[in-house]
Amino acid sequence: MKQDITERKEAEAALRTAHDALIASYDSTLAGWSQALDLRDRETEGHSSRVTLLTLQLARVLGFNEDELEHVRRGALLHDIGKIGIPDAILHKPGPLTDHEWRIMRRHPEYAYQLLQPIAFLRPALAIPYCHHEHWDGSGYPRGLKGDEIPLAARIFTIVDVWDALTSDRPYRAALSHEAAREYIEAQAGSIFDPWIVKTFLAMLDQAGAPVMVH
């Protein structure tokens, strides 16, 4: 009996080790995908890692548990995975996009859904890749979700994504100051952004060791 118990515990430990190794392998693959996306979209180099770190900080403040944070992390890393379906001529176009080109560009959340939904491991992380362009007032895409219809993880990520875009250098403009970016975020509370999350985000930036230092 004692030997049976020992063997069972050893088998359980081996199974846990194999499971942990598999998860680590999956996560390494996701990190590789994210890096490949940044390399393809050269003007946003480093964007995925920065927004992932800041999104996790905000999600923690808002009370996400560790299991939920893992899904948030994976979703943030893969938020633009759908852009692999966007032609290079549009993704790398130096000038403004035409209406037709914007219609194609705005399909990238749908492409993300098509890519990730069949993968059971990643379904819990779909909220961010699929919904991060939805707006609080219902004016976003791809589904025109409004208010609390938008998953909380996506509402969090949307603010962080815009903050990083505004405060990073791009080929067509220099980075905005943190003050100017803050004014924009505040002005869009209730239209693009969830007002409650805006308030929490800005309060977090005001605290000592504010996460704006991730740049």
DSSP conformational letter for 121: G
User: Are the beta carbons of 112 and 75 closer than 8 angstroms?
Assistant: no
DSSP conformational letter for 65: -
Nearest Cα to 79, choosing from 168, 151, 9? Answer: 151
Q: Give the Å distances, CA to CA, from 124 to 11, 71, 149, 151, 172.
A: 29, 6, 16, 11, 35
- Specify whether 199 is catalytic: no
Q: Is 201 exposed, middle or buried (0-12, 13-18, 19+ CB in 10 A)?
A: buried
Residue with tokens 């869009």: 188
AA identity, residue 109: P
AA identity, residue 93: K
CA gap 37, 81 in Å, rounded: 7
2, 9, 83, 93: which one is catalytic?
83
User: Are the beta carbons of 182 and 210 closer than 8 angstroms?
Assistant: no
Catalytic residues: 83
